[in-house]
Structure formats: structure tokens, C-alpha cells
Amino acid sequence: MTQISIVVPVFNEQESLPELSNWISRVVNDHGFSYEIIFVNDGSTDGSWSEIQRLASLNPAIKGVNFTRNYGKSAALDMAFSKASGEVVITMDADLQDSPDEIPELYHMIVEEGYDVVSGWKKKRYDPISKTIPSKFFNGVTRWISGIKLHDFNCGLKAYKLKVVKNIHIYGEMHRYIPLIAKWNGYTKIGEKVVEHRARKYGVTKFGLERFLNGFLDLISVSFVNRYKKKPMHFFGTLGTVSFMSGFLITIWLIFQKVYGLYQGSKVREITDQPLFFLALVALIVGVQLFLTGFISEMMTSNNSRKADYNISDQVNLED
């Protein structure tokens, strides 16, 4: 069995690729590891794909997948996870900000120390302040929501047991939450390693504030879906019950008022003329609708197969 699969998402990183693949190969060869490098070209508009093909033609351990367009880092990682065959799978950014020198220690932590996931921590970070400040905030909130005590969820350098990556699926901006998703799936031994970080040597960053916000929205929906995907009725049914019961209680109150008024002999408005009656009606209808939504979700989840959200146009040194 191959010992290490190194997975690298690539979006317009042509200049970095030769240096990166040489560096990785040198480190793993020095330590005598059997390995593969899987580059996923995520719709680059520069010569990244030709570069990957060229490197793959020189070294059979270098493999490549070419997306038809830019699907995002999560899709690229998801694709590579499905192709990976190494006992330990290590993800790494293509821009030379992560150091391949960390590979042996990450491998050791997974295999010898038995971690399911080891996440890199860029303790000394070489990024502009416009990235590091939102990042601190993001990490704080993610720690709080997930209960996982990592300092640096977004670090591109992470290592996994093979079975972990085979059992999780990521899309959108979810690559930031892989440790969290792993934990939900029962892979709870999650570790952290301080890793060397470097300034970007070539090209520019692809992640701005907008993707940060999308990441937060993904976290909310992912947490929500994770919690209710097997039991949507628990969510919709609870809301539906609250709504329906409010409508019901208001109606009882209106009837009580009417009857009491008649009993007292005073003149009381028709129930249907009361403004509260309108509110009760809406609450009753919304309640029923929420229940129906719950039923539909239950029916859908029972035959819900995941569909791939990317397309490949080409690949090298890989079978289908």
C-alpha cells in the first residue's frame, strides 16, 4: 500500500508547481516513503494544467485531475480524496506557503500516535493583516460552535487517515470545517501541529472577505443539516406545532370571549371580525404548511443519494 497521498488543489499556480513537486519528492524520497502527489487543477486560466501534465510525464507518482471549470477548493479536495490511495492523506496548498518538510512528522502523528486528523497551525503566519484578523475571529467562532480546540481551522496543511477522507464529502466553502465534519462522522481523535508558514512566492491569494462570509453561511447550514438531515420532521414539526398551537389557543380565547360576552348579555363582535382572528388563521395555516414541509423532507431524505458537483475533462496517471 502507498504510504502517503499528497493532495494539492491548484487554481492559477503555474509558477509554483515545479518547485513544489520537486520539494515534496525530495522530502518523501529522503525518508524512503512510497507516495503519490495528486494535483487537482480547479479550472486554472494560466498554464497550470500543462505544467501538471508535464510533471506527471516525468514522474509516475505525480497524478493530475483537470476540472472543466473553477469549482472551488472544497470540490478539488473532495475529488482528490476520492482518488487517494495512501495510508495517510496530506493536503497542502500549491502556493509554497505550506512546507513539505512537515510531511514526515504529520505521517508519524497519524500512523504512530493514532490521530484520525492532524491539523496544521500557522503559529507564525506570513499573510497580510486583512487576512489574519478575520481569521482570528473565524477560528474563535468555529472553536465555540464545534467544541474542537484547534487554533487554525483554515490551515491548508492537514493530514488524515485514509478512511476519514473516504467517508466525508465536502462542497461549497466547507474545506475549512473538515475536522468538524470528521468529528461528526465519528473520527474524534483530532490533533494539531505547529507548522512552518511562508509568504506567498508567486501569484496572488484567491480568498477574500466574501469567501469568509460564505464560509460562515456554510458552517451554519452544515451544522443545521448535520443535526436534522436524518430527522427533518423534528425541526419542521416543532415549528409547525408551535405555530399551530398558537393559532389554536388564540381561537379558543376568541370563542371564550364571545361566549362569556353572550352570557354577560353584552354585545360582542363576531369572532371573524376580530383582528386576532386573522392572526390565528395565519398561525394555523403556517403550522399545517410546516408539517407538510417536514413530510416532504422526510420523503426526500429516504432516497437521497449525493450527486457529484464537479466534472472532469481529463486526467493523467490515474484510472477512472
Contact set with Mg ion (CB under 5 A): 93, 95, 97
| Residue range at the interface with ligand UDP (CB under 6 A); choices 116-124, 203-211, 227-235, 282-290 | 203-211
Minimum gap (Å) between residue 30 Cβ and ligand UDP: 24
Rounded CA separation 94/67 (Å): 16
The residue within the footprint of ligand UDP, chosen from 4, 5, 7, 9 (CB under 6 A), is 9
By CB under 6 A, residue 99 contacts ligand UDP: no
By CB under 6 A, residue 158 contacts ligand UDP: no
Rounded CA separation 215/208 (Å): 11
Query: What Å distances lie between residue 115 and 3, 111, 131, 183, 198, CA to CA?
Result: 15, 7, 29, 12, 26
The nearer residue to Mg ion, 132 or 241, going by C-beta atoms, is 132
The residue within the footprint of ligand UDP, chosen from 64, 156, 215, 232 (CB under 6 A), is 156
> Which strands make up the sheet holding 158-161, listed edge to edge?
190-194, 117-121, 158-161, 88-91, 4-10, 35-41, 62-67, 312-316
Q: Can you give the length of the chain in residues?
A: 320
The nearer residue to ligand UDP, 95 or 116, going by C-beta atoms, is 95
Residues 6+ apart with CB under 8 A from 67: 40, 41, 42, 43, 75, 76, 79, 310, 311, 312, 313
By CB under 6 A, residue 207 contacts ligand UDP: yes
Residues 46-85 that bind ligand UDP (CB under 6 A): 70, 72-73, 76
From the list Mg ion, ligand UDP, none, partner contacted by residue 34 (C-beta under 5 to 8 A by kind): none
Residues that bind ligand UDP (CB under 6 A): 9-11, 13, 42, 70, 72-73, 76, 93-95, 97, 156, 205-207
